[in-house]
Amino acid sequence: MARDYYEILGVSKKASQDEIKKAYRKLARKWHPDVNPSNKESEQKFKDISIAYECLGNKEKRKLYDEFGEEGLRPGFDSEKMRQYKAWQSATGAGAEGGEGARFGRYQSYEDIFGDLFSSMGGEGAFRTSGPLKGRDVEYEMTVDFISALRGLETEIAMQKTTVCSRCGGSGSEPGTKLIPCPNCGGSGRLNVAEGPMQFTQACPQCGGHGRIGKFCPECGGSGQVIGTEKIRVKIPQGVSDGSRVRVVGKGEPGMNGGKPGDLYLIIRVKPHPVLTRKGDDLYMEVPVTVHEAMAGGGISVPTVDGQVNVKVPPKSQSGQTLRLKGKGAFNPKKKKRGDIMIKLMVKVPRTDDGNILEAAKKMEGLYTEDIRKNIRL
Q: Tell me the pLDDT of the chain (378 aa) as tens digits.
A: 467 899 999 999 999 999 999 999 899 888 887 788 788 888 888 888 888 888 899 888 899 889 888 877 776 676 776 776 666 656 555 544 444 333 333 333 444 444 444 433 333 333 334 467 788 888 888 999 999 999 999 999 888 777 778 888 777 778 887 778 888 788 777 776 644 444 556 667 767 666 777 777 888 777 777 877 888 999 999 999 999 999 999 998 888 767 888 899 999 999 999 999 999 999 999 999 999 999 999 999 999 999 999 999 999 999 999 999 999 999 998 899 999 999 999 999 999 999 998 998 889 888 888 888 888 889
Task: Note the pTM of the prediction, 2 decimals.
Answer: 0.56
The C-alpha atoms of residue 304 and residue 99 are separated, in whole angstroms, by 73
Assign 3-class secondary structure to 259-298.
Answer: CCCCCEEEEEEECCCCCCEEECCEEEEEEEEEHHHHHHCE
Domains of the chain, earliest start first: 289-367 (2.60.260.20)
DSSP-based three-state secondary structure for 316: coil
The one-letter amino acid code at 373 reads R
Distance between CA 177 and CA 21 in Å, rounded? 43
